[in-house]
Amino acid sequence: MSPKQKIVIAALQLRQPATTEELLSLPCMDYYANGAKHLGALLSNMVKRGMIERVKPGLFQLPTRKPESQNFQLH
């Protein structure tokens, strides 16, 4: 799990569901000129791996069921 993914997971453990705008305010996203684009790619990757769930567009939460371990492998 990357450092940015850990930050997103920690933020969702404190408050969920969380909006894209709330996650965009995380310290790891202020590095980029277009933070929304990079956050979108990060969140999309995390959803595909089963690390988080997309409740609806722009709203994310931790999975309701435990993800399988192969979802966390880096390719």
Q: What pLDDT does residue 63 have? A: 93
Q: What pLDDT does residue 27 have? A: 80
Residue 65 CB-half CA count within 13 A: 3
- Mind listing the pLDDT tens digit for each residue in 7-28? 999 999 999 899 999 999 888 7
Domains identified in the chain and CATH numbers: 3-72 (1.10.10.10)
DSSP state of 26: S
13 in Cβ contact with 1 (< 8 Å): no
Taking the whole predicted model, whether its pTM rises above 0.95 is answered as no
Six-digit token pair at 9?
């997971």
Q: What pLDDT does residue 32 have? A: 62
Query: Bridge-partner residues for 61, per DSSP?
Result: 53
- Mind listing the pLDDT tens digit for each residue in 34-73? 878 889 999 999 999 999 999 999 999 999 876 555 555 5
